[in-house]
Structure formats: structure tokens, C-alpha cells
Amino acid sequence: MNGISCDSCGSGLLIHSDVRYIVRIDVRAAYDPVEISPEDLERDLSREIDDLIRRLEQADPRTVQDQVHRAFRFDLCPPCQALYLRDPLGSSLRGRQGPDA
């Protein structure tokens, strides 16, 4: 992410090629519309809010942040950009299995 070398292979950027590529990844929690019932409006949420605040105060800030939003920026040389475009999720490295495999 320094713009001087490829974040994938480490080769010098703009030394062997006239172009470099920037990859930006924006990971956000997806929120679906919520249906609110009349019962929801009648609930006293103060205890639930207090409990949530207490859990957040005890949680690791990085973990909490990662559950909401995380952004990445990488500089790539042309060969690494081509590899990235062919398999942006790295599925071939995992044998097309999920992250827990």
C-alpha cells in the first residue's frame, strides 16, 4: 500500500511497466429492511440498549469495527492485476471451498 512496490509480489512499480493498478475493497455489513411490529414499539428497550453498551465496552474494538466496515487498498503490478481479475476471491487457492475448509 505504499505505491512503490506491488502489494502482492513485491516487485517495483513503474520500474518494469508504465502502469500500476489500485485495488480497493470495501467490506460492509449488509442491512436488510426491518419490519417493526406494534409490539416492538411498546417494548422498553432501555435494558437491551444498556446490555448492548456493556457488551461493546468489553469487546475488542477491532472486532466490533470489522463487523460493521473495513476498507483495503492495494497497489498491483500488471501481472498481479491480471491474476486478481481472474480470481478476486482467491477461490482457486482454497480449492473453491469456504474459509473454514
In a domain, 4, yes or no: no
Residue 3 forms part of a structural domain: no
Vertex 95: Cα angle to 91 and 101 (nearest 5): 95
Q: Which three cell numbers stand for residue 101?
A: 475448509
* CB-based contact 51:59 (threshold 8 Å): no
Structural contact between residues 78 and 6, judged by C-beta atoms closer than 8 angstroms? no
pLDDT higher than threshold 60 for residue 15: yes
| Higher pLDDT among residues 67 and 17, named by residue | 67
| pLDDT score at 96 | 59
Number of structural domains in the chain? 1
Parent domain of 25:
21-89
- Mean pLDDT value across residues 31-48: 86
Does 1 reside within a domain? no
Confidence bin at 29 (pLDDT 50/70/90)? very high
Residues of the chain above pLDDT 70, percent: 89
Return the pLDDT at 14. 84
